[in-house]
Amino acid sequence: MCLSTVYRNTLTPETVAMRNVMRIECRDGYVILTDLMERQVAIEGTLEMANLVDGVAVVREAKAE
């Protein structure tokens, strides 16, 4: 099973949005992350990068206006 850690904007320990992510969905301007325990986090923005071999993904947050 491939699980990933998803980061906000940059790949640094301080920007971890969620660990053990099993599903990533992009809907209506949001990236919706679901972990093994079925918890969800919705981030307004776009999926910038996903490296499933290394188990990492980066979500670029939308800028607040």
- Per-residue pLDDT band for 52 (boundaries 50, 70, 90) equals very high
What was the pLDDT predicted at 1?
67
What was the pLDDT predicted at 18?
98
Q: E-assigned strands of 1-65? A: 4-8, 16-27, 30-35, 40-51, 56-61
Torsion angle of alpha carbons 29, 31, 44, 63, nearest 10°? Answer: -90
Per-residue pLDDT at 13 exceeds 90:
yes
Question: Can you give the residue ranges of every domain in the chain?
Answer: 4-61
Per-residue pLDDT at 64 exceeds 80:
no
Per-residue pLDDT at 65 exceeds 60:
no
**Contact in structure between 9 and 58 (CB atoms under 8 Å):** yes
Mean pLDDT to the nearest integer, 40-64: 95
